[in-house]
Amino acid sequence: MQSLHLTNRRILLNARPQGAPQASDFRLERSPVPAPEPGQVLLRTLLLSLDPYMRGRMGSAASYAPPIELGAVMVGSTISRVAASAHPDFHEGDLVCGASGWQDYALSDGQGLRTLPHGAEHPSHWLGVRGLTGFTAYAGLLNIGRPQRGETLVVGAASGPVGSVVGQLALSMGCTVVGVAGSEDKCQYVRDELKFTQCLNHHHPELPAALAAACPMGIDVYFENVGGATLNAVLPLLNPGARIPLCGLAAQYNADGLTSATAQGPDRLPQLMATLLRRRVHLQGFIAFDDFGAQFPTFFAAMGDWLASGEMQVREDTVVGLENAPEAFIGLLQGRNFGKLLIEVAGD
Ligand SMILES: NC(=O)c1ccc[n+]([C@@H]2O[C@H](COP(=O)([O-])OP(=O)(O)OC[C@H]3O[C@@H](n4cnc5c(N)ncnc54)[C@H](OP(=O)(O)O)[C@@H]3O)[C@@H](O)[C@H]2O)c1
């Protein structure tokens, strides 16, 4: 079979990061492309999604998903072309959404694979706005944030794939929406293209005062993507009965593996607990597919309509070449991406 003569590049976890990931935490290996056994398909990766959760999987700590083993392929969602099939449900040439990880080729027994419709426009959307990130925004906002017309919502990582959808949905529900992002360019995009009411730079030392000015009626929903300085600025402004969908804590992911003395700033836990108590705040962590997966088909159809009508704006940041995935991922945790981060592993 022709594919047996091809080489599979695989990016493996070489070492568990201490703090921010380094290039040396990854290792690129080459191996022969395997042939599918009966009941298997061979997938050629076209697009790989890079997401902040991968930082957690690189560490050894127990979480909602097991750590990646040292020497194993880095995990990740992918859009792939079926290169060869010995599975009755998949045919050579099909485009599928799955989880091949950081490699050119992967075998699959078909579990968890979804076939894209023939001629599907924007396959990349299945990894972002119509996939994990869009659904996370939708599920956390509707189930936990429960925004009401006239309320004020704040969201961090506002130009990113989760934050941008949260804000656009909340705007459509009649909220005042204040984004927080990591550069002037990102803030300008969030204000001008996404039409958020305001967007503030979290690197600015006056963030607490600027946020107070942007939220004169206080904050009713804080969609938590980042923690850190943004959370500190939000806490004093929370209204009684505020809701916090606790989605992610991107500002502290790189603290994993550091000694507690290096990782910790001032202890703000007493302030947080007192705020939750006095303002009767509802804070709930969630893992989108685990907790709300039954809502995915409804979301998928609705998001398709919002995209088709132009109501939902999408920004993607596509880096070409599997070999560039480690550097792109390191940048993601430092805010160097501008939009949903994707790796173009191969052309169509
Ligand atoms: N619970 C779930 O089921 C679930 C599912 C998917 C994603 N998530 C979480 O949702 C959050 C957003 O994900 P995403 O895919 O949309 O990510 P993203 O916006 O593409 O990337 C993460 C962003 O975090 C921001 N960031 C990094 N360091 C920061 C810091 N020190 N302070 C403030 N912001 C910082 C950066 O944006 P700026 O340059 O704007 O700071 C960076 O671009 C992440 O925390 C992710 O883990 C949760």
Helix 132-140 and helix 161-172: axis angle, to 10°? 40
Contact 114, 140 (CB under 8 A): no
Residue 122's alpha-carbon distances to 105, 195, 224, 298, in angstroms, are: 21, 23, 28, 19
CB-ligand 1 contact for 231 (6 Å cutoff): no
Residue with the smallest CA separation from ligand 1 atom 17 is 160
CB-ligand 1 contact for 225 (6 Å cutoff): yes
Residue 13: which residues within 8 A CB-CB, separation 6 or more? 25, 26, 27, 58, 68, 69, 70, 71, 72, 74
Token pair in block for residue 232: 């500190």
The whole-number average pLDDT for the span 295-314 is 97
Residue from 75, 162, 256 whose mutation best tests the ligand 1 pocket (most atoms within 8 A of CB): 162
For 31, the enclosing helix (H) or strand (E) is strand 26-32
Residue from 130, 133, 223, 287 whose mutation best tests the ligand 1 pocket (most atoms within 8 A of CB): 133
Ramachandran angles phi, psi of 308, nearest 5°: -65, -35
Distance 20 CA to ligand 1 centre (A): 15
325: DSSP letter: H
Token pair in block for residue 299: 């979301």
Residue with the smallest CA separation from ligand 1 atom 40 is 181
3-state helix, strand, coil in the chain (%, to 5): 35, 25, 40
Token pair in block for residue 294: 């039954």
Q: Is the pTM value of this prediction over 0.85?
A: yes
**Closest ligand 1 atom, CA of 250?**
45
pLDDT at 3 over 50: no
The pLDDT value recorded for residue 5 is 63
For the segment 203-259, what is each residue's pLDDT rounded down to a tens digit?
999 999 999 999 999 999 999 999 999 999 999 999 999 999 999 999 999 886 665
